[in-house]
Amino acid sequence: AQNTPEDDKLKKSMERVAHKILVLSGKGGVGKSTVAVNLAVALALEGKRVGLLDVDFHGPSIPKLLALEDRKPEVVGDAMLPVSMDYGMKVMSLGFLLNRKDDAVIWRGPMKYGAIKQLLTDVHWGDLDYLVIDFPPGTGDEPLSVAQLIPDADGAVVVTTPQDVSTIDVSKSVTFCRHLKIPVLGIVENMSGLICPHCSKLIELFKQGGGEEMAKRMDVPFLGRIPIDPKIVQSSDEGRPFIFHHKDTEAAAAFRQVVQPL
């Protein structure tokens, strides 16, 4: 098929991004956006030039997680500039483009697809080492059409929880990637054990090692476990990236470990 001018624009813009990393999950609520934010900040703290793109229609939560709700991307000609923030990070979210919080939910498929395509083609990221993309949850039409818009993704990080490891959600995400020829960079087991708010020791809540076992069985890397830490919830509510404000915690160390192979 002939490339449209839009396709060429998208290709050009994405050529300036060295690594495109998709953050996926089999379903909502497993901490996908939390992981995406903390991985992006972890990379930025290593001195990398990082963009964070939020295309989760089910509640684009990145602006809230980073206290950027009052910001808007600047429009220059027919291009949009992502919102610049601390750590040299650049952020673009569907949330910036919606007037009301629940706008996205009522959009129909083609509108969603059009909005995401526009986000990808019209946003000028400049040169980036990493673009971390917070995907819509699941393996349905939405993540599928977004994935098809991103040329040459480096791969996907699949976020799960210990409870969901036993369900077919993870394997669905891995199959989704294989179908699209997107390498699986690895599985992250989030909410794995609980950090006691009193003594900061790790309390094992569920059977351990499920994510690792699942990774082995599906022949994909295991990137690590992130414990439940009440400070993560608190940081999210305050819009302050956990990994920056609580550097000395076990969970922050876990996030730093996850980005090592990326």
The tokens of 71 are what? 């910001």
Torsion-angle region of 191 (φ positive above 0: left; ψ -120 to 50: alpha; else: beta): left
Separation CA 257–CA 81 (nearest Å): 31
**For ligand ADP, which stretch binds (CB under 6 A), given 32-40, 43-51, 122-130, 165-173?**
32-40
Q: State the nearest-atom distance from the C-beta of 232 to ligand ADP, in Å.
A: 4
Separation CA 153–CA 159 (nearest Å): 17
121 is a site residue for ligand ADP (CB under 6 A): no
* Complex with ligand ADP: residue 89 or 228, whichever CB lies closer: 228
Among positions 218-247, residues that touch ligand ADP (CB under 6 A) are 226, 228-229, 232-233, 236
Among positions 41-70, residues that touch ligand ADP (CB under 6 A) are 61
CB 207 within 8 A of CB 162: yes
30 is a site residue for ligand ADP (CB under 6 A): yes
Among positions 179-218, residues that touch ligand ADP (CB under 6 A) are 190-191
Separation CA 79–CA 73 (nearest Å): 10
* Complex with ligand ADP: residue 80 or 119, whichever CB lies closer: 119
H or E element in which residue 158 lies: strand 155-160
Residues that bind ligand ADP in the complex, under the rule CB under 6 A: 25, 28-34, 61, 190-191, 226, 228-229, 232-233, 236
